[in-house]
Chain A
């Protein structure tokens, strides 16, 4: 059994570790430091932490100002209030002038659970991917998150990263794992179907591939940490081999990874596809695991969708 770590925890620790050698890193939060885990940084490096209060527009634009002075600001809040409420600040004051601001949205997706639909950011990846100049990252485990934070620091430009609330299995090996913005990773070879998954659904994809193997279906699993720019080459190569693709994400299908993969394959290698995600609907309160099951972001539903394609 793999160790379980929430990507937000890996994020908070990575910020502290990497800021030791980089004095330009500044962290801002909007009264959610104990949820986004930026509180770890606040405790370790208080002189480079600013709490902006419950004011997300101000949070993003203050970060924009800091970036113009050469700082590398990480602006943290819930994904809903970053990509949602502060969408236009991100678009006009960060992405358009291409400022080096890292927008960090925690509690992305539906697994925030009992807080209900108001706090379940199912559109954050789609919204951020729609904005020119934005890089959009959604790591699948703690090792990938840590490596993504390092890559974000090294990359000079605006990035949106989704931080997961709930613990997910650590799949990658820190010693061998290499993260590159815009590159997906094939984690399992197969010939019958390709499962393209991002974020928390990476774990579901791996488990579904295991179940499919029991019935003689060899699924190839591709983990997409960078929604934009999308690794079209890797996905196309796999689709050419398997001829079937299921895209899996914890969020709305329209405008998200599902749409992005469909758009790419429609030009490079059209194949029959299915989608796992929120099908144009809001979530609701409930236990995180129950919600994932209810909205079909499950091993069982993935197997079902694959069978539809066979």
Chain B
């Protein structure tokens, strides 16, 4: 049985950490971190088979944060899981910190793949899945992409190879919040029909409310039951979800909240 309520609480806690972390260091990307917090909570507190005491365990499931700028959500989850002390969250983006501005496997326990330059994570996820399959392992590779990110051509190179090599242990997610730095994804370059594009590349495509934990878990189970092809789960989300003044605001892509804004946000997030 899934403990939906617990995952929802974890998601809320992740959101609080996101706001606090970015507020403290006065730098980072709150909008896209908040929009994916529910998925990150579902993965780390239900779905993924991981061992925080043994981050390099060969049979672990992997999470590739391809939209690397949303790493505050991941860092919060990793700290809450016990990969490193909670105090580290106070040092996001500081000189010498284990928490770099974008995920870096060389410094952060629990980060399997270094990302940040958009468009690369899905290819890396495919490589991990190929390696697992060669070793007859059964772990899954979860790869989170941004809806702006998939404007990168390499995503479609990787979409082609995942289908060609029948990587059914790659499960992709698109954080479909409709906003990128310069505006809506529709206005910037007309990146529409995302589900149709993945379907045309040979993927199993599911669409869910990305803030509905039960729906997310069900979609992931459907993905796991799908054999012979990769699955992508298009998550309809709200950028800045959970903080009223950030929701659906393009300006909150890469801006840090002031001390007062942090206070208000935390109130809304139940602290």
Q: Which residues from chain B contact A53 at a C-beta distance below 8 Å?
A: 157, 160-161, 164
What is the predominant secondary structure among interface residues of chain B facing chain A?
helix
Q: How far is the CA of A166 from the CA of B112 in the complex (A)?
A: 40
A97 in the interface, Cβ–Cβ < 8 Å?
yes
What bracket does the count of chain B residues touching chain A fall in? 20 to 34
Nearest-Cβ distance from residue A84 to partner chain B, whole angstroms: 15
Nearest-Cβ distance from residue B35 to partner chain A, whole angstroms: 24
**CB-nearest residue of chain A relative to B105?**
A97
Contact of B104 with A96 in the complex, beta carbons under 8 Å: yes
**CB-nearest residue of chain A relative to B64?**
A65
* 203-260 of chain A: CB within 8 A of chain B: none
**A38-51 contact mask (Cβ, 8 Å, vs B): 1 or 0:** 00000000011010
Q: How far is the CA of A237 from the CA of B180 in the complex (A)?
A: 56
B135 in the interface, Cβ–Cβ < 8 Å?
yes
Instruction: Pick the contact of B130: A50, A55, A57, A97 (CB < 8 A).
Output: A50
Q: Which residues from chain A contact B128 at a C-beta distance below 8 Å?
A: 65-66, 68-69
Contact of A58 with B161 in the complex, beta carbons under 8 Å: yes
Q: How far is the CA of A238 from the CA of B251 in the complex (A)?
A: 60
**A91-102 contact mask (Cβ, 8 Å, vs B): 1 or 0:** 011001110000
What bracket does the count of chain A residues touching chain B fall in? 20 to 34
Instruction: Pick the contact of B131: A47, A71, A92, A96 (CB < 8 A).
Output: A71
A70 in the interface, Cβ–Cβ < 8 Å?
yes
Instruction: Pick the contact of A70: B120, B131, B153, B160 (CB < 8 A).
Output: B131
Contact of A65 with B124 in the complex, beta carbons under 8 Å: yes
Q: Which residues from chain B contact A57 at a C-beta distance below 8 Å?
A: 119-120, 123, 153-154, 157
**B128-160 contact mask (Cβ, 8 Å, vs A): 1 or 0:** 111110110000000000000000011001101
B254 in the interface, Cβ–Cβ < 8 Å?
no
Contact of A98 with B131 in the complex, beta carbons under 8 Å: no
Identify the interface centre among B116, B131, B132, B165: most chain A CB within 10 Å of its CB: B131
Contact of A64 with B106 in the complex, beta carbons under 8 Å: no
**CB-nearest residue of chain B relative to A92?**
B117
Contact of B112 with A68 in the complex, beta carbons under 8 Å: yes
> 16 A–B contact pairs at CB < 8 A?
A52-B161, A57-B123, A57-B153, A58-B154, A58-B158, A62-B127, A64-B127, A65-B129, A68-B112, A68-B113, A69-B131, A71-B131, A73-B127, A89-B123, A92-B116, A92-B120
- Which residues of A are at the interface with B, using a C-beta cutoff of 8 A? 26, 47-48, 50, 52-53, 55, 57-58, 60-71, 73, 88-89, 92-93, 96-98
Extra inter-chain contacts (7) besides given A58-B160, A61-B124, A69-B128, CB under 8 Å: A26-B131, A69-B131, A69-B135, A89-B123, A96-B114, A97-B105, A98-B106
Closest 8 CB pairs of A and B: A65-B127, A69-B131, A61-B123, A58-B157, A55-B157, A62-B127, A65-B124, A65-B128
